[in-house]
């Protein structure tokens, strides 16, 4: 799989032995989940990261960052990152953040909640790194609140996200990619748009992505 590329924003398989274990629900407090996720990334604890991040949006973001083929993307959606790839991905994210922000990820603090109008399944929180503000977005699923990478970094990837989907819809895995976008990316971008309603490029591209996914239903 191609080298992992990191896109920073806003200043920012399960191993089987015998029967697969049931996923363990995580904390019900989204601010705590955000803090624990940041701590896990700073510590390089990929197992803890995995239980605190929404997997489908992460798979799409990683696919777009690395220009993966559609078949590779579907595997990533269905099985998640291998332990080796996850270690590499988050190591580069951590190192890239330090270069970008001028401080270690461990210095980032989760602050006050930022209201997201009309997005009840999403919560956003301020982040600070040496006084530089940013935000992190979480979404609520069956296992509780998780960091939503598509909502957090999606605004900086909005052009590539739409271009990737447009290309994927011409291939053999169009339905699978469109479903992932419809279930994880479109609502995440809606939340991001609600956070930044003056970002006309984000609003336009998010609506275009919505229309593209609708063509495969």
Whole-angstrom Cα distance, residue 87 to residue 107? 21
**pLDDT over threshold 50, residue 118:** yes
Q: Does residue 159 have a pLDDT over 80?
A: yes
Q: How confident is the model at residue 2 (pLDDT cuts 50, 70, 90)?
A: very low
Q: Check residue 132 and give its pLDDT.
A: 58
Query: Which residue ranges make up each domain of the chain?
Result: 30-214
Longest dimension (CA), the chain: 52
Q: Alpha-carbon distance 128 to 109, whole Å? A: 5
Q: Specify the pTM.
A: 0.85
Q: What does the mean pLDDT of the chain come to?
A: 84
Mean pLDDT for the stretch of residues 39-46? 93
**Following DSSP, what letter does each residue of 166-214 receive, concatenated?**
HHHTTSTTHHHHHHHIIIIIHHHHHHHHHH-TT-HHHHHHHHHHHHHHH
Q: What is the pLDDT of residue 27?
A: 58
Both tokens assigned to 206: 């998010």
- Cα separation, 171 vs 185, in Å, equals 19
Contact 141, 125 (CB under 8 A): no
What angle do helix axes 83-101 and 30-43 make, rounded to 10 degrees? 100
Q: Residue 128 has what pLDDT? A: 82
Interval 62-101: pLDDT, tens: 999 999 999 999 999 999 999 999 999 999 888 887 777 6
Judge contact between 163 and 63, C-beta under 8 A. no
DSSP conformation letters of 107-120:
G-EEEEEE--TT-T
Q: Is the pLDDT of residue 15 over 60?
A: no
State residue 13's pLDDT score.
23
- Structure confidence at residue 18 (pLDDT): 37
Sequence-distant (≥ 6) Cβ neighbours of residue 173 within 8 angstroms: 70, 71, 73, 74
Q: How far apart are CA 165 and CA 60, in angstroms?
A: 10
């Amino acid at each position: 799989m191609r080298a992992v590329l990191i896109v920073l924003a806003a200043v920012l398989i399960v191993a089987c032995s015998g029967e697969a274990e049931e996923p363990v629900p995580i904390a019900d407090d989204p601010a705590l989940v955000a803090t624990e996720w940041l701590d896990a990334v700073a510590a390089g604890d990929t197992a803890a990261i995995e239980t605190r991040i929404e997997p489908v949006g992460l798979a799409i973001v990683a696919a777009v960052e690395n220009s993966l083929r559609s078949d590779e993307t579907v595997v990533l959606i269905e099985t998640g990152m291998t332990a080796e790839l996850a270690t590499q991905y988050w190591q580069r994210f951590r190192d890239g953040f330090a270069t970008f922000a001028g401080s270690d990820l461990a210095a980032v603090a989760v602050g006050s909640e930022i209201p997201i109008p009309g997005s009840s399944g999403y919560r956003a929180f301020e982040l600070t790194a040496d006084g530089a503000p940013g935000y992190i977005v979480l979404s609520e699923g069956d296992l509780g609140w998780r960091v939503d990478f598509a909502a957090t970094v999606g605004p900086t990837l909005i052009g590539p996200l739409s271009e990737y989907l447009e290309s994927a819809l011409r291939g053999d895995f169009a339905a699978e990619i469109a479903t992932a976008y419809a279930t994880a990316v479109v609502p995440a971008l809606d939340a991001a748009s609600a956070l930044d309603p003056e970002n006309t490029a984000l609003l336009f591209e998010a609506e275009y992505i919505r229309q593209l996914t609708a063509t495969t239903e």
